[in-house]
């Protein structure tokens, strides 16, 4: 089985270490931004279509700011 996996090579641009590769550095985040624009995620969907990406990143920033103290607390309790 291992020999077959080695012969077939990586699948879906994921190498053996589990890290996704990108064909060119300038295009790595393009799919995410396009999906945000199209409204595929529940981020920025209340905003007008031409402001959806900005609204989505604003929502993400607010969420990260809200969750950071909780994550710090959980990590502190986990190390005890």
The residue range of the domain holding 17 is 2-78
**pLDDT higher than 80, residue 19:** no
Count of domains observed in the chain: 1
- Cα of first residue to Cα of last residue in the chain, in angstroms, is 41
Over range 20-46, report the average pLDDT: 78
Look at residue 34 in the predicted model and tell me its pLDDT: 87
**pLDDT higher than 90, residue 26:** no
In degrees and rounded to multiples of 5, residue 2 shows phi and psi of: -65, -40
Cα–Cα dist 66/72, whole Å? 11
**pLDDT higher than 90, residue 2:** no
Look at residue 71 in the predicted model and tell me its pLDDT: 85
Q: Using DSSP, how many helices (H) and how many strands (E) does the chain show?
A: 3, 0
Cα–Cα dist 49/52, whole Å? 5
- pTM for the structure as a whole: 0.54
CA angle 16, 75, 57 (to 5 degrees): 70
What H or E segment, with its residue span, contains residue 79?
none
């Amino acid at each position: 089985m291992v020999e077959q996996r080695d012969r077939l090579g990586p699948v879906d641009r994921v190498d053996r270490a589990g890290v996704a590769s990108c064909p060119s550095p300038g295009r790595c985040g393009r799919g995410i931004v396009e999906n945000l624009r199209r409204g595929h995620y529940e981020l920025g969907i209340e905003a007008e279509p031409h402001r959806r990406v900005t609204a989505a990143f604003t929502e993400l920033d607010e969420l990260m700011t809200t969750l950071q103290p909780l994550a710090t607390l959980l990590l502190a309790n986990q190390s005890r």
